[in-house]
Amino acid sequence: MSQEQQHQHQHRGSDENLKIAFFLNLGFTLLEIAGGFWTNSIAILTDAVHDLGDSVSLGLAWYFEKLSLRKRTPRHTYGYRRFRLLGGLITGLMLLAGLGFVLFHAFGRLNDPQEVRVPGMLVLAILGIAFNGAAVLRMKGGSSLTEKLVSWHLIEDTLGWFAVLVGAGIMMIWNVPIVDPILSIGISLIVLWNVGRNLKKVFSVLLQTAPEGFNTDQFECRALGIDGVDSIHHIHCWSIDGESHVLSAHLVLTPGVKDIAAIKEQVRDLVDPNQFEHVTLETEGPDDDCPQSD
């Protein structure tokens, strides 16, 4: 199987996994919204908002996974892979707005706890663990970064339902309805922390910062250790979609260097070829004036 065929095969598997996870999550979210109003549980409604955001995220990930394979055009010279970032950005902003609304009502219930239908909470918690657990199993072993991120998000959902199950168990024994808004606030804060972390990564890519884990100073130091490289400047590094990266640099070569192609190859070997798909290196002599400026 050629590398292109292998890539297409992996993409079809990723596409199928995202599609199944999307429909599992969306189906349960609709059930959860109805169940949250039926049980009068703010904790369940909080998680319903979270799961709705997950459904949107999965749907966008599924859509942009297809869109991202379109070939480059004169207008989109890197292709459409950067469109993947839109899914994360839209989902993150939706979750922030929805969770802000839920937190407002949850804090109001701290002063005025209301009775909830605990048996209904138990049933929904068990269903939540089953639905999200099935989606986790489906995404387990995914090779793409998108699949791995979705998998961790679904694991968080499953753990959140374990928390609801524990809270319902407590209220089955003791009549302490205040546990419900406390659970809601706890789940909301955990989700907000994760949303903020993911949005930070999205904005980092959009602002074209150096990819996470890549140290430009270390790269420069290692490049200067290559015979024939006198100095290096104009090092620019950014990510297309958080997975595929781009690097460009100007190499000033020592006088008398013959095999420029070999030096360029050694510099390219300093970065991971699985992550850096575009490495552009320009060479100059020590007495040449560089026409570009940072």
CA-CA distances (angstroms) from residue 51 to 63, 68, 95, 187, 202?
A: 18, 24, 9, 12, 20
The per-residue pLDDT for range 166-225, each reduced to its tens digit, is: 878 887 888 777 877 787 788 778 878 877 887 888 888 888 899 888 899 999 999 999
Res 54: pLDDT: 73
At residue 108, the 3 state secondary structure works out as: helix
Confidence (pLDDT) at 146:
61
Tell me if 228 sits within 8 A of 281, measured CB to CB: no
Domain 216-284 coded CATH 3.30.70.1350: yes
What is the predicted pLDDT for the residue at 11? 44
- Is there a contact between 79 and 70 (Cβ–Cβ < 8 Å)? yes
The CATH code that applies to domain 3-206 is 1.20.1510
With CA atoms as reference, report the closest residue to 113 among 186, 191, 175, 49: 175
Give pTM, 2 decimals: 0.70
Q: Which pLDDT value is given to residue 7? A: 39
* Under-70 pLDDT residues of the chain: 1-15, 43, 50, 114-116, 139-153, 156, 291-294
* Predicted local confidence at residue 152, as pLDDT: 67
Confidence (pLDDT) at 43: 67
Instruction: Give me the pLDDT at residue 1, please.
Output: 41
Q: Where are the domains of the chain?
A: 3-206, 216-284
* Helix intervals (H) in the chain: 3-39, 42-67, 84-111, 118-139, 145-173, 179-206, 216-224, 260-268
Q: How much is the pLDDT for 259?
A: 87
Neighbours of 258 (CB within 10 A): 9
Interval 81-101: pLDDT, tens: 787 777 777 777 777 777 787
Give the separation between CA 253 and CA 263, rounded to whole angstroms.
9
Residue 8: the pLDDT is: 41
